[in-house]
Amino acid sequence: MNHGKIYNLVVVGFGGMGSHNAKLAEETGRIAIAGVYDPTEYRMDLARSRGYRAYENFESILDDEEVDIVLIATPNDVHKELSIKSLRAGKHVVCEKPAAVNTTDLLEILRAAEESERLFMVHQNRRWDEDFLIVKDLIAHKKVGDVFHVESRVQGANGIPGDWRQLKAYGGGMLLDWGVHLLDQLLLLTDSKIESVYADLSYILGTEVDDGFTASIKFKNGLSAVIEVGTTNFIKLPRWYVKGTEGTAVIRDWDLSGEIVTRNREVEHVEPKPIQAGKGLTKTMAPPSEESTIRRPIEHVEDLSDNFYVNLVSTLEGASKQAVPNDEVYRVMTLIEAIFESAESNSVIVRDI
């Protein structure tokens, strides 16, 4: 046990996520940023301006016996190489998502972690997003009854970021960028195995990687889901749309605007009034009567769990289990591979995931 120990962490890749992670780690009061390495000189200058040591190369980090943790925030294609080298040098590793570009590479990393007896933990930070926690709570407490359908989307109209994310060789594309977050969240909403996957990848922007995708996923317990990422959407669809046997919930965007509409069990059912629909009338597609339903705003939930870096320290000291277990990371990567396979073959992939 090392209660009170300050862990020295080096950031490899000091871009947006690397610098953001450094700040989050320092806020724990238990992690010190021992330095930074990035092959891009202006990022090294930025690190120096913030008072961080600039390592000359990656090997000098591995040789530094004072370094406890290596944070890897590089393009996806080198996650495997840098993770394995760090683990074999006796360092614990925090890796930005996705941990690897395929399950084969991920398994190699996990074997290296096991053989080295070092911690490998993937920064799936959106497990702590409030919109996700609201939906997780809503499903767990059956606030719209038994949920049978979930839709989760992130959409914008700004295209793919103009960096390595547009290049296949670096592990770019939206499925590996945003998709890994949404799929990770989805798998935490149910304990059921997946039955089938059907997906379509978008290449509207003409890049060599996907600029978005839509995946339809069916679980063995009857739950169905639609996961969608888009970068050419000038009007967004809801961030979350959840249907249950007793009602429906919607979260429209990051501001958590939305509502929950449920059946009113305290009154007898009141038939809806027919509405004019185009050239005809319909009662089937009319809104339910106000007497028969209850509308209420989205209910915020209090997150009592430790944040990622607090959990990291607690796990290193044997007081907690990993907040992002590696078997769950592997399952997400298996699902991503099924989505790629479905899109390439234009077929439903039936697989126990």
Q: Are residues 340 and 222 in the same domain?
A: yes
pLDDT digits (tens, 9 = 90+) for 249-258: 999 999 999 9
pLDDT digits (tens, 9 = 90+) for 177-186: 999 999 999 9
Q: Is residue 341 part of a domain?
A: yes
Q: Are residues 91 and 176 in the same domain?
A: no
Q: Choose among 9, 59, 63, 16: nearest CA to 36.
A: 9
Is residue 3's pLDDT more than 70? Answer: no
The parent domain of residue 11 ranges over: 7-123
Q: Are residues 211 and 250 in the same domain?
A: yes
pLDDT digits (tens, 9 = 90+) for 40-95: 999 999 999 999 999 999 999 999 999 999 999 999 999 999 999 999 999 999 99
Q: Are residues 105 and 246 in the same domain?
A: no
Q: What is the chain's mean pLDDT, rounded?
A: 96
Confidence at 2, pLDDT banded by 50, 70, 90: low
Is residue 1's pLDDT more than 50? Answer: no
Q: Are residues 198 and 343 in the same domain?
A: yes
Domain final residue pick, 107, 123, 139: 123
Scanning 91-219, the segments in alpha helix (DSSP H) are 103-116, 130-140, 174, 180-187
Q: Are residues 114 and 148 in the same domain?
A: no
Q: Are residues 69 and 187 in the same domain?
A: no
Q: Are residues 208 and 345 in the same domain?
A: yes
Q: Is residue 24 part of a domain?
A: yes
As a whole number of angstroms, the distance between CA 96 and CA 67 comes to 18
Domain final residue pick, 123, 139, 165: 123
Domain final residue pick, 74, 89, 123: 123
pLDDT digits (tens, 9 = 90+) for 300-335: 999 989 999 999 999 999 999 999 999 999 999 999
**Rounded to the nearest 5 degrees, what angle is found at the Cα of 233, between the Cα atoms of 173 and 244?**
95
Q: Is residue 311 part of a domain?
A: no
pLDDT digits (tens, 9 = 90+) for 116-129: 999 999 999 999 99
pLDDT digits (tens, 9 = 90+) for 138-165: 999 999 999 999 999 999 999 999 889 9
As a whole number of angstroms, the distance between CA 287 and CA 271 comes to 10
Q: Choose among 186, 226, 215: nearest CA to 343.
A: 215
How would DSSP label each residue in 204-233? TT--SS-SEEEEEEEETTS-EEEEEEESS-
Confidence at 288, pLDDT banded by 50, 70, 90: confident
Handedness of CA 85, 91, 96, 97 (dihedral sign): positive
* Overall domain count for the chain: 2
As a whole number of angstroms, the distance between CA 263 and CA 248 comes to 9
pLDDT digits (tens, 9 = 90+) for 192-251: 999 999 999 999 999 999 999 999 999 999 999 999 999 999 999 999 999 999 999 999
Q: Is residue 83 part of a domain?
A: yes
Q: Are residues 87 and 178 in the same domain?
A: no
Q: Is residue 289 part of a domain?
A: no
Q: Is residue 273 part of a domain?
A: no
Q: Are residues 166 and 241 in the same domain?
A: yes
Q: Is residue 247 part of a domain?
A: yes
Q: Is residue 2 part of a domain?
A: no
Q: Are residues 221 and 345 in the same domain?
A: yes
As a whole number of angstroms, the distance between CA 84 and CA 113 comes to 8
As a whole number of angstroms, the distance between CA 124 and CA 121 comes to 9
Q: Are residues 202 and 175 in the same domain?
A: yes
Is residue 4's pLDDT more than 60? Answer: yes
CATH number of 111's domain:
3.40.50.720
CATH number of 132's domain:
3.30.360.10
Q: Say what the pLDDT of residue 9 is.
A: 98
